[in-house]
A = this chain, B = another copy of it.
């Protein structure tokens, strides 16, 4: 296809936009004490935090998929004001400053919280300060991205595929798993990537709701924050390691998953 030449103005604006992302990154890379990077990587604190971060963000993405896809399905078939209200509610965790999100989670699921107090009295279970709390905080903050992407995918889905499947005798679950989910794959995948990225960088809600304990709730962003306090260079290195890991995963997965359909 022959397109009109892109005017310089568009190119310049795009370049400015890209610079806004690239310059800070360049700043980090220039200032990072690369000689220490390997030492940092060998540090058990780093590897533990990295492992926990990856575990928590993937688990949170898993929960977001489990709860978010059904939620998006309900949203997509709701009509009128109710839908706008539900949608706005889903967008809330994005507007809420994460620290307040953490406080809100404490008020709901903490030892004295609305639901948490019942759990504590009945089973002696306390959610905060556990890895489960970190996963929950990340799910809370990151799930909206998945829900919004999947809902958009559902709205643009051609429902005749599902109808064809039903008329071929497929019941709900067969249609859902063999037709709906595969057709939604691009939307689910891009939503999951956004969700995962957001969960990986989550800090405010996690520290407030789950606290900070190495190996249990200390994810990389929290470790980075602590390192900023005592050894800022290490913090920068740690952030870069997080970036490299996530970029590698992003580039690696995108083609494999989005390319196929």
Contacts and interface: CB of A to CB of B under 8 A. Distances in A.
A114 to B, nearest CB: 5
Q: Which of A99, A103, A104, A109 has most chain B Cβ within 10 Å? A: A104
A182 interface: no
Contacts of A67: 13-14, 16-17, 20
Contacts of A6: 73-74, 172
A139 B95 CA distance: 15
Interface in A129-181: 136, 139-140, 143, 147-148, 152, 156, 159, 166, 171-173, 175
A66 B13 contact: yes
A97 B224 contact: yes
B70 A239 contact: no
Interface residues of A, number: 102
Nearest to A12: B70
Contacts of A193: 91
A72 to B, nearest CB: 8
A255 B79 CA distance: 12
Contacts of A225: 97, 99
B10 A97 contact: no
A92 interface: yes
Contacts of A173: 7
Please name the 8 residue pairs, one residue from A and one from B, whose CB atoms are nearest each other, closest first.
A27-B107, A17-B67, A24-B104, A97-B221, A14-B70, A23-B108, A17-B71, A13-B70
Given A95-B247, A96-B201, A100-B228, 11 more contacts: A4-B172, A7-B173, A20-B139, A21-B143, A22-B89, A23-B109, A26-B114, A27-B104, A92-B243, A95-B197, A100-B224
